Amino acid sequence: MSKDSNRPRSSSADKMVGVPMQTLSGEGHVTLVDYIGSDASVVRGARCSYGESNKTFQEDERLIRFLMRHAHTSPFEQVSFVFRLRLPLFLSFEFTRCRPSKYQIIWPHEDIDFWIPDSIERSSIEPCYNQIKQLLYSARNADKDSNIYFSILPGTVFIELIWQIDLHNMLYFIQRRREINLPELKEYIDCILLALKSVAPCCYSAFTDYVLEGKLLKEADVRSLADQIKSLDGDLIMQEAKKVGMSQGETQEFLTKIKRFTSNA
């Protein structure tokens, strides 16, 4: 990346580019290959329609939190990421079936490795994997098309994946994939979150607060909250909101929600 570029940059993300983040006890990794944009790109994308600029960092952060809170999408599409992942084939399906992303699979041609979970006795499965390796090596040495033999590879074979995605769709990907009870996938998601935190820390913070840690309420929950909130003093609510770091805009929205809850209860 050219240092003379005028595009928004992050010094912490620049240090992360090209540095593998280890997964699966060091057998796999996630590498941030490149990124375009930052928090400033999201803010610029949101404000371009009405021409405002030269805002303070606090104002930009509040805007990003507003955009995340109200589920805006297009401003977050101004940021994009390119990752290189080394992972078992079966995990790669979680990334490649994310339709908005672009990807390229790099199949192993020299060293062929397989991931063996800790719950499986290595001695019981390694002989089978060694036979598959010998078959592929023999095909390559005989100048045969080794691609034909890739069809017999098990889902635990390690491949490399070049994966490109914009921030909006990456946030949706993270939200949905974290719901899958698969510890191996979570290791890769955690690495991607670290890259997000370096590239766009305000977006990471807002995403964590409103999406990853936020909760949806059903009607019965709303009615229960409304009954409890009726007895609370308005000033006390304002004080508690400030204690937990809510901005003035967040607090006003919260109070508006409370009035709506109590009126519908």
DSSP code at position 165: E
Residue range 217-242: mean pLDDT, rounded: 73
Taking the C-alpha atoms of residue 87 and residue 153, their distance in angstroms, rounded to an integer, is 14
- How far apart are alpha carbons 146 and 142 in whole angstroms? 10
Average confidence score pLDDT of the chain: 85
Instruction: Give me the pLDDT at residue 86, please.
Output: 97
For residues 13-37, give the mean pLDDT: 96
Q: How do residues 68-125 score in pLDDT, each as one tens digit?
A: 998 999 999 999 999 999 999 999 999 999 889 999 999 887 788 999 988 888 888 8
Show contacts of 64-70: CB within 8 Å, 24+ apart. 64/39, 64/202, 64/203, 64/206, 65/202, 65/205, 65/206, 65/209, 65/210, 65/247, 65/250, 66/249, 67/42, 67/206, 68/203, 68/206, 68/207, 68/209, 68/210, 68/211, 69/206, 69/210, 69/250, 69/253
Give the Cβ contact number of residue 200 at 10 Å.
Answer: 28
pLDDT band at 144 (very low <50, low <70, confident <90, very high): low
Nearest to 33 by CA among 122, 90, 102: 102
Q: Predicted confidence band at 39 (pLDDT cuts at 50, 70, 90)?
A: very high
Using the predicted structure, report yes or no on whether residue 208 has a pLDDT greater than 70: yes
CA distance 245 to 137: 60
Distance CA(85)–CA(103), nearest Å, equals 11
Least confident of 34-43, 105-114, 165-174, 192-201: 105-114
Helices (H), the chain: 11-16, 39-47, 57-69, 89-96, 122-141, 167-177, 183-199, 201-207, 219-229, 234-243, 248-264
Backbone angles phi, psi at 159, to 5 degrees: -125, 175
**What token pair was written down for 13?**
């993300």
- DSSP state for residue 14 in the 8-state scheme: H
Question: Does the structure show a pLDDT above 60 at 51?
Answer: no
Confidence category of residue 54, pLDDT binned at 50, 70, 90: low
| pLDDT at position 192 over 90 | yes
Check residue 226 and give left, alpha or beta (phi > 0: left; psi -120 to 50: alpha): alpha
For residue 50, pLDDT over 60 is answered with no
Q: How far is CA 253 from CA 96, 225, 232, 246, 260, in A?
A: 38, 16, 17, 10, 11
143-162 average pLDDT score: 80
Amino acid, res. 79: V
Residue 136 class from Cβ within 10 Å (0-12 exposed, 13-18 middle, 19+ buried)? buried
Higher-scoring residue by pLDDT: 66, 49: 66
Could you tell me which of 135, 138, 114 has the C-alpha nearest to residue 125?
Answer: 114
pLDDT of the residue at 68 = 93
Whole-number percent of the chain with pLDDT over 70: 87
pLDDT over 50 (residue 1): no
Phi, psi (rounded to 5 degrees) for 164? -120, 135
| pLDDT tier, 15 (very low <50, low <70, confident <90, very high otherwise) | very high
Instruction: Please tell me the predicted confidence (pLDDT) of residue 141.
Output: 74
